[in-house]
Structure 1
């Protein structure tokens, strides 16, 4: 009789823990869902009232460098010669 009682008690305990876990997961999921809905509606409201134009990229305002008129083509490599900076290398100290 005691063995049967232990088996029944273990089954009831397992069912109780399982049902508590399921209820906890459902409540936790519902709370997260309702919070996300509120946050997304707040974000949309803020986004409609805020002016984002100062933060937009301005690609069309760049100055384009024109090639210098004194470019010289290297006869060996077939490319234009460029000025190479001289002096101490700031990366080597």
Structure 2
């Protein structure tokens, strides 16, 4: 509650969205912009990949951490007031 009040006093909040490059992520990003972000907020999209080929190119970014840990670290680094992620539909 305190973070939200301080951020609103400044007029800009950061909303972090974890996405993949697919149609569901576009919907998720749009939803976050419309439903979570407020006018003046900054929406930060972080690309999350599961492919070991893509991850190996950016190995220093992941540094052996899970995607969840990386998203938490990024949310803390940009002082995000909200983190939005999708779910996998593979059951």
- What is the TM-score normalised by the length of structure 2? 0.20
Richer in strand (by share)? 2
| Structure with larger RCO (C-alpha < 8 A, sep 6+) | 2
More helix by share: 1
Higher Cα radius of gyration: 1
TM-score using structure 1 length: 0.19
